[in-house]
Structure 1
């Protein structure tokens, strides 16, 4: 199995179960404000219920004025990890990395090694898609039953941080409904891959998490 380039994990967001999400939005000091910061991870059943969708959002809190100049880092590998047997170790991975205005995807593939370090599985090409420019209609691509997208999007995460601070400070007991969206008007860079479930396997329940890894 051909591989190339060593990448080392610099951030991980760990998720369990099948339909779930998590967010950190520059909470991790090692990657705060950098191109490898993962703001959100989503995994959910697709509109086609035979598929599962994985979404990694990066570089949060981009203002509209700065989004056009934001770009995916060609030295940062995004790796979707999938555990199909419940031991919290990745059995399959899907990798995404940008090159020259396109996002390239590899997998799903069983990794030769697990954990901190990764190599790109160039012999397991899943597909590629042109990175959508800011303000343009979404560019998508399809190959072998999989679908792909990469580009800027409005931050989908909702959180009222001011109210949260009031609750933590003992000055409020609950959130307002609907509250104020702290992330309104800010953008992220999104990587999306939709995969047929039969390419994932397992018993119907999976563990999944996403990592960003820096080229060494």
Structure 2
């Protein structure tokens, strides 16, 4: 589970470049290498400053030459959680579920159940569907009710110099090089992206947001 905080409302308007990220590549043995392995979670203000963008990346270190691995597991749901009351319990969820080459989104909607277990919120009027973009294809983006959706392989945007990090931890170096060497260069992730009007999120000041992968 990834959890970050992001400012909304006037707070975000004042810091248009505000950006938070959590990263975790292939170090959870129970989910390593699969679609339930969340590598990164990003939440930031959209190019349209009235919107927030949520990005969950799964299945890290994919080789662009091995396209057979680049697919979403239909038994895994990715759930974006939003707490807009400050009690660290999700008030809204956005659920993403793949089926037959498409990614279906449900929410934002108040969840029927909070915590580790979820109910698929198929009755909500919010959400949409997008064709999953294939390798080498132009990104397919759909828009419904002011929301935008994308799902498919992308170049891994996270930068980390693990070799230098190991040298620092081992006492053989004092600091990172600038710019250093990107361990993830040339590898891909499977991305799920949803852009949501702030008016659909509610709250003011600060919201908590985190993402979970849940297996059927």
Q: TM-score range by the shorter chain?
A: over 0.9
Matches within 5 A, 1:22-37: 22-37=22-37
Matches within 5 A, 1:60-209: 60-124=60-124, 125-209=126-210
Give the Å deviation of 1:53: 0.1
Looking at structure 2, the residues matched to 146 and 17 of structure 1 have their Cα atoms a distance apart, in angstroms, of 19
TM-score by length of 2: 0.92
SS of structure 2 residue aligned to 1:142? strand
Runs of 4+, deviation exceeding 2 Å = 16-19
Looking at structure 1, the residues matched to 35 and 122 of structure 2 have their Cα atoms a distance apart, in angstroms, of 23
Instruction: Single out whichever of 157-166 and 123-132 deviates more from structure 2.
Output: 123-132
Looking at structure 2, the residues matched to 23 and 31 of structure 1 have their Cα atoms a distance apart, in angstroms, of 15
Is 2:18 aligned against 1:17?
no
Give the Å deviation of 1:189: 0.4
Is 2:44 aligned against 1:44?
yes
2:14 corresponds in structure 1 to none
Q: Quick check: 2:25–2:39 contact (8 Å CA) kept in 1?
A: yes
Q: Quick check: 2:6–2:44 contact (8 Å CA) kept in 1?
A: no
5+ residue gaps in structure 1? 1-11
Give the Å deviation of 1:59: 0.3
Instruction: Single out whichever of 31-40 and 139-148 deviates more from structure 2.
Output: 31-40
Looking at structure 1, the residues matched to 187 and 208 of structure 2 have their Cα atoms a distance apart, in angstroms, of 29
Looking at structure 1, the residues matched to 30 and 5 of structure 2 have their Cα atoms a distance apart, in angstroms, of 23
Aligned residues: 204
Looking at structure 1, the residues matched to 179 and 210 of structure 2 have their Cα atoms a distance apart, in angstroms, of 29
Looking at structure 2, the residues matched to 66 and 214 of structure 1 have their Cα atoms a distance apart, in angstroms, of 24
Looking at structure 2, the residues matched to 155 and 74 of structure 1 have their Cα atoms a distance apart, in angstroms, of 22
Q: CA RMSD in A?
A: 1.0
Give the Å deviation of 1:35: 2.0
Looking at structure 1, the residues matched to 168 and 107 of structure 2 have their Cα atoms a distance apart, in angstroms, of 44
Looking at structure 2, the residues matched to 167 and 138 of structure 1 have their Cα atoms a distance apart, in angstroms, of 39
Looking at structure 2, the residues matched to 67 and 13 of structure 1 have their Cα atoms a distance apart, in angstroms, of 27
Give the Å deviation of 1:16: 2.5
